[in-house]
């Protein structure tokens, strides 16, 4: 484990990709505060020891991007037990329609990567209600805050990229935070796809294809950011489109950035 990941990844027995987003460079020479912003995969497997550890972090709010079905299968019990504000929405959206694509056949790594990139292009708009809520809560001072999906890669990766972009983090750093997930978690396991299972929609897919579908490749998050720029012109334009109040970005910076 490299030094950067070792500092970010929280030492949880049942955690999945639960890491601190502090220390990243932001606008005007500022840096993101440590201990204010956390990204994660599902929190359903947290142990009592994990609950005790997380109590010390002082997290006030969790925003969960998972679908109703995902939450029913793996509920977040920690927030209720700890009295932490928990937000989710009633939806059944599936990232990139991967199950459908897999059943139809994915013949090459390049095709799999193109499918993933296209999914990331839709993600800012598919998840707009949840991303808007995350921004509003940070702007309103509900920090420290954590946000999650299942593996902490796709929907969470988009949210992390969005927040860092609002804070003025350079694109290469945003991409590096996204790809760090490949070191933080066994993505094939977290992805839950079993190509060796004949009943799986991923049955028979090759190793390169599966690695591309489960991976956190730089081109995926680049497609996410490019889609925002192309449709909205800027991060500020995107925030306006999804109904975030004016001034929210500046409020976020006040809560998340170290003094200059």
The pLDDT value recorded for residue 185 is 82
Sketch out the chain's domains with CATH numbers: 3-256 (3.90.190.10)
Model's pTM, two decimal places? Answer: 0.93
**Coil, helix or strand for 25?**
strand
CB atoms within 10 A of CB 52: 9
The pLDDT value recorded for residue 106 is 83
> What tokens appear for 140 in the block?
């309103």
The pLDDT value recorded for residue 196 is 58
**Coil, helix or strand for 86?**
strand
**Coil, helix or strand for 38?**
strand
The helix (H) or strand (E) run that includes residue 61 is strand 61-64
Bridge partners of 73, per DSSP, are none
**Per-residue tens of pLDDT for the chain, all 260 residues:** 677 899 999 999 999 999 999 999 999 999 999 999 999 999 999 999 999 999 999 999 999 999 999 999 999 999 999 999 999 999 987 775 565 666 666 889 999 999 999 999 999 999 999 999 999 999 999 999 999 999 999 999 999 999 999 999 999 999 999 999 999 888 767 655 555 555 566 667 888 988 898 899 999 999 999 999 999 999 999 999 999 999 999 999 999 999 87
Find the distance separating the first CA and the last CA of the chain, reported in whole Å. Answer: 31
Q: In the sheet where 61-64 sits, what is the strand order?
A: 19-20, 37-40, 145-148, 61-64, 85-87
CA distance 102 to 53: 39
């Amino acid at each position: 484990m490299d030094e950067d990941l070792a500092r970010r990844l929280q030492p949880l027995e049942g955690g999945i990709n639960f890491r601190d987003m502090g220390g990243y460079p932001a606008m005007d020479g500022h840096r993101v505060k440590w201990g204010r912003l956390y990204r994660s995969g599902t929190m359903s497997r947290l142990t009592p020891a994990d609950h005790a550890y997380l109590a010390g972090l002082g997290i006030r709010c969790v925003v969960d991007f998972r679908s109703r079905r995902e939450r029913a299968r793996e509920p977040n019990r920690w927030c209720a037990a700890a009295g932490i504000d928990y937000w989710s929405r009633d939806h059944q959206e599936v990232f990139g329609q991967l199950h459908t694509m897999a059943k139809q056949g994915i013949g090459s790594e390049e095709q799999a990567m193109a499918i993933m990139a296209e999914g990331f292009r839709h993600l800012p708009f598919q998840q707009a209600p949840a991303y808007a809520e995350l921004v509003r809560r940070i702007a309103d001072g509900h920090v420290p805050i954590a946000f999650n999906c299942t593996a902490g890669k796709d929907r969470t990766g988009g949210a992390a990229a969005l927040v860092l972009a609002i804070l003025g983090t350079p694109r290469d750093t945003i991409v590096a935070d996204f790809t760090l997930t490949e070191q933080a978690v066994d993505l094939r396991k977290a992805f839950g796809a079993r190509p060796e299972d004949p009943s799986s929609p991923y049955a028979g897919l090759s190793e390169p294809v599966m690695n591309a579908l489960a991976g956190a490749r730089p081109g995926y998050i680049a497609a996410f950011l490019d889609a925002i720029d192309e449709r909205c012109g800027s991060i500020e334009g995107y925030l306006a489109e999804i109904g975030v109040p004016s001034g929210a970005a500046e409020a976020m910076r006040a809560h998340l950035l170290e003094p200059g």
